[in-house]
């Protein structure tokens, strides 16, 4: 792309609103053009100054109450799609350590409790996703900037499973990629890390308090799926994920 | 007597739309220019939104609500002919900016002053540009959502945001003491 072609695209470039091919082409030009770099730097400063929180006007005190009375509508606590699993998960977090010393100790491998705990933590937290996108072209490069490896980020055909985004998590004593999918009311985390880590997953399939763990190997990666779906549903998801990732 | 269906609708409205009040108010406040007027506009918008909530089928209640807020703001301008705030002349903006205690060495004061400069500069933009800038920068909306709200193609949103930033940059640059 020439400089003149790139110029009108730079604002959309800053806003991350270009398609991937165009964005790559713009990046190629920008890395070699000091004019564009200077322009982008100034624009980013301006944009950041506009995002100063004090620029937002806040509703006057009592306005929500007045509005609420006038409409006859009350504000309900938000029902996120995974509130129910979150409640179950809260109980699980409290008992998880008990499990480790309890009768299940011999049968539940540590990596499985670790995976389920990571899943539960994420579902409970308000920030379960670091990069929110349904586009693997966005999610995959993001991981490459966060981790020393670039995991497969398949989108599943069929329309019933949505890629929600990804985050970096800490499981099995290392930083791993966590891909977040949603199917109906179920959130599915897929944890991915390289096989070269020598931390394998043999025997990690488990059922812990309504959460299931399934595992797979794809290319150079280990993958572990965690969700509150039934075992059969999760296995079906695993098989489709593996097929799409190849 | 309120029907079960209405109760269910009101419950969903309370979950999805009522919590968007800060967004609706901020947008209205930037559109109409005064606090009490913004409150009127938002009240109207919410009444209208609840009445038409059954027709909301999209996935983004924020864009849907903001489009209604925008329509109500336009109606408000129509009902108060002559009230449409004329964008400030560049000289006015410069004067406001110049009154800023921008030379204060305290960084907190400087940042406050920087916010005041930007606020005056945004307020001085013509309405079409001010609107997209507020939706993009202050509310963080995607081009697609903005296109839906102001009912123009995405390409128009893109060029309008770009032009709005050009104008804003020029207004800020006109005051060298705070352009850092």
CATH number for position B138: 1.10.10.10
Q: Say if residues B38 and B21 touch (Cβ distance below 8 Å).
A: no
Same domain, residue pair B16 and B48: yes
Same domain, residue pair B13 and B71: yes
Domain positions in chain A: 3-55, 83-245
Nearest CA in chain B to A48: B137
Task: Please tell me the CATH superfamily of domain A83-245, with its number.
Answer: MucB/RseB, C-terminal domain (3.30.200.100)
Per-residue pLDDT band at B155 (split at 50, 70, 90): very high
Alpha-carbon gap: A106 to the closest alpha carbon of chain B (Å): 45
Tell me whether residue B85 is in a domain: no
Q: Which of B135, B128, B42, B122 is nearest to B84 (CA)?
A: B128
Same domain, residue pair B42 and B114: no
Same domain, residue pair B65 and B123: no
Phi/psi of residue B92, each to 5°?
-65, -45
Domain of residue B164: give its range: 90-178
C-alpha dihedral (B5, B9, B11, B14), degrees to nearest 10: -160
The residue among B79, B102, B126 that closes a domain is B79
**pLDDT surpassing 90 at residue B103:** no
Lowest-confidence segment of A11-25, A124-138, A153-167, B7-21 by average pLDDT: A124-138
Same domain, residue pair B58 and B103: no
**pLDDT surpassing 60 at residue A204:** yes
ipTM over 0.85: no
Diameter over CA atoms, chain A: 69
Q: Structurally, how many domains does chain B consist of? A: 2
Q: Which of B19, B99, B79 is nearest to A73 (CA)?
A: B19
For residue B82, the model assigns a pLDDT of 62
Q: State how far Cα A241 lies from the chain centre.
A: 16
CATH number for position B39: 1.10.1740.10
Residues in chain A closer than 8 A to B11 (CB atoms):
76
Q: Tens of pLDDT along B45-88?
A: 999 999 999 888 777 899 999 999 999 999 998 888 665 554 55
Residues in chain A closer than 8 A to B169 (CB atoms):
42-43, 46
Lowest-confidence segment of A106-115, A186-195, A221-230, B128-137 by average pLDDT: A106-115
Residues in chain B closer than 8 A to A79 (CB atoms):
15
Same domain, residue pair B97 and B74: no
Same domain, residue pair B63 and B111: no
Among A13-17, A146-150, B80-84, B86-90, which range has the highest average pLDDT?
Answer: A13-17
Q: Say if residues B132 and B143 touch (Cβ distance below 8 Å).
A: no
Alpha-carbon gap: A229 to the closest alpha carbon of chain B (Å): 24
Rounded mean pLDDT of A84-107? Answer: 53
For residue B17, the model assigns a pLDDT of 93
Tell me whether residue B20 is in a domain: yes
For residue A8, the model assigns a pLDDT of 93
Strand partners, A227: A188, A212
Q: State how far Cα A231 lies from the chain centre.
A: 22
Positions of E strands within chain A: 131-132, 162-171, 174-183, 186-194, 206-208, 211-218, 221-227
What is the number of alpha carbons within 13 Å of residue A77 lying toward its C-beta?
A: 3
Q: State how far Cα A195 lies from the chain centre.
A: 21
Residues 6+ apart with CB under 8 A from A223: A190, A191, A192, A215, A216, A217, A241, A242, A245
Same domain, residue pair B140 and B108: yes
Q: State how far Cα B142 lies from the chain centre.
A: 14
The residue among B26, B58, B79 that closes a domain is B79
Rounded mean pLDDT of A32-55? Answer: 91
Alpha-carbon gap: B40 to the closest alpha carbon of chain A (Å): 10
The residue among B79, B103, B138 that closes a domain is B79
């Amino acid at each position: 792309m020439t400089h003149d072609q790139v110029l009108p695209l730079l604002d959309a470039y800053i806003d991350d609103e270009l398609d991937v091919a165009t964005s790559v082409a713009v990046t190629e030009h920008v890395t070699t053009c000091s004019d564009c770099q200077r322009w982008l730097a100034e624009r980013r400063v301006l944009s950041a100054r506009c995002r100063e929180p004090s620029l937002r006007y806040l509703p006057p005190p009592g306005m929500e109450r007045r509005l609420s009375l006038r409409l006859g509508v009350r504000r309900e606590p938000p029902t996120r799609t995974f509130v129910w699993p979150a409640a179950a998960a809260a109980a699980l977090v409290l008992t998880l350590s008990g499990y480790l010393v309890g009768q299940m100790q011999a049968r539940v491998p540590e990596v499985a409790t670790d995976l389920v705990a990571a899943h539960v933590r994420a579902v409970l937290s308000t920030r379960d996703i670091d990069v929110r996108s349904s586009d693997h072209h966005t999610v995959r490069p993001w991981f490459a900037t966060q981790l020393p490896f670039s995991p497969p980020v398949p989108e599943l055909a069929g329309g019933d499973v949505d890629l929600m985004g990804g985050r970096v998590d800490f499981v099995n004593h290392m930083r791993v990629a966590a891909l977040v999918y949603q199917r109906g009311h179920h959130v599915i985390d897929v944890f991915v890390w390289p096989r070269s880590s020598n931390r394998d997953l043999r025997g990690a399939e488990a059922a812990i308090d309504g959460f299931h763990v399934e595992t797979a190997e794809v290319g150079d990666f280990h993958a572990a799926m965690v969700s509150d779906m039934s075992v059969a549903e999760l296995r079906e998801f695993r098989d489709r994920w593996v097929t799409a990732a190849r | 007597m309120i029907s079960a269906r209405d109760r269910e609708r009101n419950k969903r409205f309370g979950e999805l739309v009522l919590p968007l009040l800060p967004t609706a108010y901020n947008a209205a406040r930037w559109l109409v220019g005064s606090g009490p007027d913004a409150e009127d506009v938002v009240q109207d918008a919410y009444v209208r939104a609840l009445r038409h909530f059954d027709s909301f089928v999209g996935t983004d209640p924020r864009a849907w609500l903001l489009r209604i807020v925008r329509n109500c703001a336009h109606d408000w301008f129509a009902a108060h002919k002559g009230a449409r705030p004329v964008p400030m002349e560049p000289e006015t903006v410069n004067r406001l900016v110049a009154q800023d205690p921008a030379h204060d060495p305290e960084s907190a004061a400087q940042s406050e002053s920087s916010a005041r400069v930007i606020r005056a500069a945004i307020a001085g933009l013509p309405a079409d540009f001010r609107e997209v800038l507020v939706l993009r920068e202050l509310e963080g909306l995607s081009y697609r959502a903005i296109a839906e709200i102001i009912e123009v193609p995405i390409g128009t949103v893109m060029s309008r945001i770009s032009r709005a930033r050009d104008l804003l940059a020029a207004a800020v640059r006109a005051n060298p003491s705070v352009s850092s």
